[in-house]
Amino acid sequence: MRKGQITKEHIIRESAGLFNTKGYTGASLSEIIERCGIRKGGIYNHFENKDEIALAAFDYSFSQILGHLSKALENASNSKERLLAICKVYIDLIETNSLEGGCPILNTAIESDDGHPHLKERAQQAMKIFIERLTLIIVKGIENKEFRKEIDPEEVCSYIIAVVEGGVMLSKLFDDSKYIRHCASNVRQYIDDRMLIK
């Protein structure tokens, strides 16, 4: 890998934590420069502006989430365990700070709602990928006769995402992981009561 590429990836990695913690508006270019330990000119050798850094940083943070999810799903033996493994990833996000700032989709969706259309679009694309993966788990669960055939995968996805992301938000707001744990428990109960074939 060339030195320029190494520097660019360093800027993205360091900026990702800053943007995911402080948001686009809260993270200044001077903070990015300080955190990266690179002069202003060094930043501009690789990025035209703060927007370009923010988009690359979001992509990096989202790729980290996908990596955590993929690893968690490797050890799950059935569809219910896969859904619960996703919940566990979000518990770990809060309790171990495995990704600085928490969920980048949630953080970006809230901050960029009206103020930054490109970041909002990026968060929408990321959420679509997450929904597709979650839907696939549910559909396979139906096909494997683990889940009831009458359940609506889209409805289940909406519920699980809303509950888990709500738990992340409450846990971040109150600095207390009990909220994400309560929400993960609610997802488990939902699966047991509404989805599983008994």
Query: pLDDT, tens digit, for every residue of 106-123?
Result: 999 888 766 788 899 999
In contact, 141 and 79? CB cutoff 8 Å = yes
pLDDT of residue 178: 98
Q: What is the pTM of this model?
A: 0.91
* Helix, strand, coil percent content, the chain, rounded in steps of 5: 80, 0, 20
- Coil, helix or strand for 196? strand
pLDDT at position 42? 81
Residues of the chain with pLDDT under 70: 1, 113-114
49-85 pLDDT per residue, tens: 999 999 999 999 999 999 999 999 998 999 999 999 9
> Quick one: which of 180, 191, 194 has its CA closest to 78?
191
Contact, 32 vs 43, CB < 8 A?
A: yes
pLDDT of residue 113: 63
